[in-house]
A and B are shown apart, each in its own frame.
Chain A
Amino acid sequence: MSTLSRRAFMQLSATALGGLVFNVGFPARAKAFADRVQGPWVFVRIDPDQPIVIGARGAEIGQGVKTSLPMLIAEELDVGWPQVKVEQLPYALIPAETEAGIAAKYGPQGAGGSTSIPDGFEELRQVGAKLRRVLMQAAAERWQTPIEALSTRDGRVLHADGREIAYAQLAARAAELPISEDPVALKSAKDFRIIGKATRVADAEDIVTGRATFGIDARVDGALVAMIARCPYFEGDIESLDGRAALAVPGVRHVVRIPRPDPDKGLVTNLAAGVAVVADDTWSAKKGRDALKVTWKRGPWSGDSSAALEQKALRALDDPGSSFDDARSDGDFAAARASAARVIEADYFMPFLAHCTMEPQNAFIDLREDSALLIASMQSPGGASRMINAMTGINRLNIDIRMPRAGGGFGRRLENDFVAEAVHIAKAIGKPLRLIWTREDDMQNDWYRPSGVHRLAATLDENGALTGWSHRAAASDRRFRLPDFADASSWIACLDPDAFPAGCIANYQAEFMPLEFGLARGWWRGPLPSFTAFAIQSFVDEIAAAAGQDPLAFRLKLLGEAREMPYSDHGGPTIHTGRLAGVLKRAANEIGYGINTLPEGHGIGMAVHFVFGGYTAHAMQVSVREGRVRVHRCVCVTDVGQVVNPLGVEAQMMGATIDGLSTALNLQITVHDGKIEQGNFPDYPLLRMADAPDVEVHILHTEFAPSGAGEMGIPTVAPALTNAIFAASGKRIRRLPIGNQLQS
């Protein structure tokens, strides 16, 4: 079971208005602490004549959990969604009988790996169900009737004889009743009235009126504003610094050196050495930073370039003496190759990518003697808490962390380097501050999606049947400065050894070679699948073409019988071939593949992949003219199991599809002379309205456990697009981004 139900207990208390709050309880010995930190935040508050307040525990980064997680509580509490007011919960810890002496007060609050819904699906429904139970008990007592005679609906308890009473009128008494420590019965899916219903973003009105606050909007009286000039060379350092001109800029108060992180220290803090300028407002901080006289020492990686990395990858792949790490090996690919009638081989090139969240990184921090307040847009508030503790020694129970909306995440905010920078500055100046990054800072100081080359080989027998598949990748691997990765496999996030077609071909091998590179690498939306699906789904298409077979029929035949197979990475433990086939067939059908007659010059391409427990297929109809691809239709079919909010899932699929198109068409980060070459949007041209197609989203309603939805819509976009380009023009794209490759 989850953290929440194992380590903490739920507690009811009365409110001054005669209502109740339902919250996470504290051990008796922590009573004083509870009184101090319980604050106004609750899972549920029911007061007479007030909306029912439900707390949203997850980090909202645009994936919709501020709506979908409270829906889970509301469903089992059995209130009408319009009666609910959602409030964001802060990150909170409580004392607990654990080894660390603490536990997460509200359970998991981070955003990563599309886990918020699977983590919360049982746990948060239990919160609602337990509270509903005591409200029914209060009604049973009042009416002197067995609880079995009662039911609930829209925030009222109903008696079989027709009497009914609002929860708010029962709240004062219910607050005195004991709450079940054991799980209580939950609704069956057919009785859901909120789960599965299209539900709009809970705080949409705040967003459209500009009232919603993001990390960058944190305003605390007296806080200064900091900007940092960072060393542009990976692992470089400050060579010389003259801060006098900066200090002479009106409004500038401090110039502070930010130390180079020590990669051997075992703690990931800030990314780069730098110089912070701290001023009264953003504009003076910016002018002060522009006035700094600073020169940089080139680090050990200063000769590196992305072009050289690619050459290194190709040399490794070409050299018969190279030794690759073995990720999976079924049957005997070498033997299949030796006896093959035909071998097909292709290389696929993946660039570095930035996350480029719309809201650049930032952090507000107020460090006190033995407490701290952090307000920032984050995906890993727990990581921020640990980092502040490690850097300052402040007890984690005294670190108050607020989680405003985040202007995008995409994996960037799983790292907390910006928090580390703010802590460094706060320690030096002893005052509260908000650190702000410019767009250039953000694009040039990221934890980039890895880059590398995939080499795929397939063997066919004399009948054109596929007998073997080999997938080798050489890439700057994901294990960058992260001590917790010491035991991780070298191919983590770069090779998907259990993905289709593993298990569908007798002789199958997946191998990896990590390449050293200075650039920081991180998680990027759907990290593993989005790095590999392009190569796999393009190559399947290439084999089908080489074997003279229809690409859809070829895939379905390979998938074979519907069955579950082991899957060892995130999203496992199994992968289901029937669900892969299900989304693929539906996508083909929706786009009219093999049914509609296409206009001259049009082609349809598709792709399917397993992503963290969910299954998505894309099918696109495109044409290529004058060196440009035009998407005429774009279909996305997803099976994420039980759907909590179809409107939210549709938004995630649309958004991820646009993200995937944007990335496949034009985005890459390149390194030259040890530095990033891109700086602002003109160098990293995200798709705009003019080039964004409508996305036809279809959600399969299956009864499998829910998988979450934030990352499922992106990995298949690039291969569906390039397969469609091939179908339309005969041109095979093996290098991302597509850029101007269609012009030749």
Chain B
Amino acid sequence: MIDSVKSFLGWFFVTGDPMIYGADASIALVSIGIVAVLTYFKKWKWLWNEWLTTVDHKKIGIMYIIAALLMLFRGGMDALMMRAQLTLPNMHFLDAEHYNQVFTTHGTIMIIFVAMPFIFGLMNIAVPLQIGARDVAYPFLNALSFWLFFFGAMLFNLSFVIGGSPDAGWSSYAPYAGAEMNPGVGQNYYLIGVQISGIGSLATGINFLVTILKMRAPGMTLFKMPMFTWSILITSVIVVFAFPAFTVALALMTIDRLFGAHFFTIAAGGSPMLWANLFWFWGHPEVYIVLLPVFGIFSEVIATFAHKTLFGYAVMVWSMVAISVLSFITWLHHFFTMGNTAPVNAFFSISTMLIAIPTGVKIFNWLFTLNKGRIQFTTPMLWALAFIPNFTIGGVTGVMLAMAPADYQYHNSYFLVAHFHSTLIAGTVFGIFCGLHYWWPKMFGYMLDEVKGKWSFWIFMISFNICFMPMYFLGLMGMTRRMYTYPAGLGWTPINVVMSIGAAGMGIGFALMAYNIVWSAVRGKKDTTGDPWNGRTLEWATASPAAEYNFAHIPEIKSRDAFAAMKEARAAGHAETVPPYKAIHMPNNTGIPVIMSAFMFIAGFGFVFEWYWMGIPGLIGVVACMIARSFVYDDHHYIPVEKVKQTEAATGRLS
């Protein structure tokens, strides 16, 4: 009896590795600490009422960003561990198996639990404000999306200490990821954790598509929308059409592993290549899901700090549309080398190269926007300016990789790793940092410190180049991706040392940014005007942070850059009449999203371990929550006129 309990525990908890014991201890300590602090300060009720049950898009956005920053920390630790292992030849910091797990969790976390939720956070904060709306189309669904992402991420991360991490790469190729070659629960964690958060992403796509299509303030035609909103509209369309394919792919592999089906196995007629196709049919659009929104952010920031309207607005929009269409017909470039016929490779080679055209057009539009502008070098602007050359390197090397014959040389080498980090870091990560600094005052009502912000920018940006520029050459010298160590004497060592120095530098840059956040929370400059950057779009027309209802009066829009136009009219002395306030109708808070997602987590955990006694009740809980929601009719309340007046007076906006 005791022995069987012991052996169960030894299998259930990951054992034998000091790093994991460290993680166990720190998870336990942090959890106890959080519970203690909340209890001591009697904050449980506050947490529940203000955050866990909120349906306010601004708070949901903040929760997305906090979670994504924590995940960035975890993914960054994984990156540093890999760089530590590879710094010198024949190192034994990580063994082969552990290295596999670390690059898998690093890749998955960075894409699914950092890049996407960070972007979802920023769009939650900015889009409804930019279009002059009081919330998103479906506030309940929005909260549900967040909690599904959150619990999916928790489930995935649990694999580190309970049961073991997945190790088949973020792309999880069959047949290696199948039950036969990859027994145990690690891969199940990947499949189910990502599935749960993916359902949330799909819902977010639908939500923002409808929000932008149907809830714009009067007068805001599609071609008067801010560019960030445009980018989210297009991204949402991609989400709606790409994610279901991923849902299916993950489900099929789960069925393979749990119920012995043969979709992707080698035996009984399964087709491992089918997985590669399904995965990348989602996977390539996915990279545009994390890229187009940051194009939008850069467009806003560059226009704001060049003090000009965006150059070539319509062209910008149409090039994003072109990118979104092309993104669905390029997926095969991820496996040019896996036995396609020449005409097939040729088609996908050309379609991939075509994407460079609209992307290049956008780069020139940003440059022309800067041309003759009065450029102000704020922290967000520095991130945006650094994006242009660094991302272009990623784009150009992308075209190199797109040439199918040449890809036989580059494929799965560090050249590829350098390429996608050039796009994902210089594109997505610079973009989310840019957006973070730009919209921070709108989120919290105070600024991030500019001096520390600039230091963290320079350290991070220079270190990024130290880490990833040499990596291209390392790839050309033959070092392949996902190798956990290498022999001395190949001439790779100096470059690896330099890269690890760069990686450490990026860690320092990020740590400085985290310090800046904490410092500014205490001493940061208050934003009393609601418009600290002299912004051009509507989110700056309301207080920082915006009231629950965003706008006491829904603005009327007459032109692009609506707020800039309003300010000009004001300066020209046009008097504005403020109509009387009306009571405002808002959705109620609700606990169902968080409870339903918690059931999803329980179900997911059960299925990971194939404990159906746990998985099935979990699913029943999910359905019960849906039914409960269907019977809720009293889900709105009115904010009375008096309250609106008070709130507006408190921000000095009552005229």
The answer on A and B forming one complex is: no
Chain B residues within CB distance 8 Å of chain A: none
